[in-house]
Structure 1
């Protein structure tokens, strides 16, 4: 009789083992957690302030309804401060462009110890509190009544505070690019200094100029400490008016004033990110190296 073959034993399936996340995974998760918590810590108060400026009654919350009434009241009472802040920022930007771009170029070209000392003196207003710089301006120029009561006095204070940002941004770009070789080549072809400056220096320094300009505008519009000490009742800028609304009016009006402030400053910050401002030129140099690598790899045997 034929014997029934015994069934073949099934191959043992390997048991899948759950791998415990490695140290790198835990480190990355911790970094993400800290980043998200920090973002929440910074963004949640801003969102709550915006919501407060759009609610009918802050203490009742969103359930009381949404309204643009407080924004209308802020614009009616403080639209003069908005236009004054824009005028001061525009004047500050113009002066820093005329003085800061040549200064940054000269400091980048000069390698003497005197230029480094001058650069440190230019950066000094950033290290000092705004109130200290304002007090120094009051001590020196406060006796000139007409100048003290004018908007030009605030513009001078803003120039003192923002000029280092323009100078450092332009100097960083001019130092990273090989302007000396380009200028020497143009000079050998008979180009004057003005021609070299307008056709070589300014185009190559454009990233630093854009970075400095955006920094000057945002800092001038948002500067409070120095402006608070220099302003008069007729020269009240946007940040000073914001402080007044929080101190003397309803919290809804103060929050609506904050919304107005965001409407003015956020486009500048977005523009800075959208333009990919790189004052040091490191990102553009990295892109050039990446673009060169494929072409060089194809030529090599």
Structure 2
């Protein structure tokens, strides 16, 4: 009874924390689907605010998707070889480089954006396009891709796999693309989904680097709350959640995937033994 009471107490506390976090989100979503938020549900439900947001801010949503996909390509091209290089580097140098790569994550996004403006702001074509925002997003998300891939590389004994492939006559590039990359698929997928979600939701760097013609979804969300009706801003939040939540769930599922595979493999011999 004592353990059951403790369990119920912990469960109740957990539910209270979840409600504390979820209720504001649900209220924001409800505001985006309500005819008049100040009257409440009595005014009726509607999707016209969502439609209006799409008409007003569709370009920001499309730019966010384009920026996230471009950021993903850049982090894949840079991150996977960088993770492999860190794996091959002496441990002391590898740790130093990893700490340096985390600097854009550790310092405020506004400081990173200001540094980019000081370094590249004089290039007018770059400043007026969305490419400067892309550079900022790559700096911010690249460490997550490298860490995700590197952690997988350290668990699957890459040197032994490379040695086996080399003994069969495979050159470096063939080993890299047919042995190393396929064995790191889980880490690459988890890193890719993390990069996309972080890029779509990134605000600080983007707010500093955006122009009136190049607004992303989070910047448009801030503008809508500042200058539009509350229902418009809430409908914008609803669209944002509809884009982000499936990706976050997928990231969580991929993160648990390595823990599921060993169990299924371990249970296979047992099943075979029982069948005999």
What TM-score, normalized to structure 1?
A: 0.86
Aligned match of 1:250: 229
Structure 2 equivalent of residue 277 of structure 1: 255
Alignment of 1:148-297 (within 5 A): 148-274=127-253, 276-278=254-256, 281=258, 283-284=259-260, 286-287=262-263, 290-291=266-267, 294=270
> Counterpart of 2:59?
80
Query: Per the alignment, do residues 295 and 109 of structure 1 end up closer, same or farther by CA in structure 2, a change over 3 Å counting?
Result: farther
Q: Give the gaps of 5 or more residues in structure 1.
A: 1-20
1:133 paired to 2:112: yes
Cα RMSD between the aligned structures? 1.8
Q: Deviations over 1:14-49 (max 9, x none)?
A: xxxxxxx21x22322222111101110111111111
Whichever structure has more helix as a proportion of its residues is: 2
Structure 2 runs not aligned, ≥5 long: none
Q: 1:266 to 1:56 in 2, by over 3 A?
A: same
1:25 aligns with 2:4: yes
Residues in 1 aligned to 2:271 and 2:50: alpha-carbon distance in whole angstroms? 57
Aligned match of 1:18: none
- Once residues 188 and 103 of structure 1 are traced to their aligned partners in structure 2, the CA distance between those partners, rounded to angstroms, is 25
Report the more deviating stretch, 147-156 or 25-34: 25-34
Aligned counterpart, 1:99? 78
Shift of the alpha carbon at 1:278?
Answer: 4.6
Task: Report the Cα offset of residue 285 of structure 1.
Answer: 6.4
Aligned pairs, how many?
274
TM-score normalised according to structure 2 size: 0.94
Higher gyration radius (CA): 1
**Relative contact order higher in (CA < 8 Å, ≥ 6 apart):** 2
Spell out, residue by residue over 1:70-103, the C-alpha distance to the aligned partner (whole angstroms, 9 max, x if none).
1111111100001100110010000000000111
Report the Cα offset of residue 284 of structure 1. Answer: 4.9
Which stretch shows the higher mean deviation, 285-294 or 63-72?
285-294
Answer yes or no: is the 8 Å Cα contact 1:134–1:230 preserved in 2.
yes
Q: Which segment is superposed worse, 143-152 or 234-243?
A: 143-152
- Residues 1:278 and 1:179: Cα distance change in structure 2 (over 3 Å): farther
Deviation at 1:111, TM superposition (A): 3.1
- Is the 1:108–1:172 contact (alpha carbons within 8 Å) kept by the matching residues of 2? no
Residue 35 of structure 2 corresponds to residue 35 of structure 1: no
Q: Give me the whole-angstrom Cα distance separating, in 2, the residues matched to 1:259 and 1:284.
A: 33
Secondary structure at 2:46 match in 1 = coil
- Report the Cα distance in structure 1 between the residues aligned to 2:263 and 2:89, rounded to whole angstroms: 28
Distance across 1 between alignment mates of 2:103 and 2:6: 39
In the alignment, which residue of structure 2 is the partner of 1:13?
none
**1:291 Cα deviation from its structure 2 partner:** 3.0
Cα deviation per residue 1:172-208 (whole Å; 9 max; x = unaligned)? 0000111111110110111111111111111110110
1:260 CA displacement:
1.0
Contact 1:210–1:277 (8 Å) recurs in 2: no
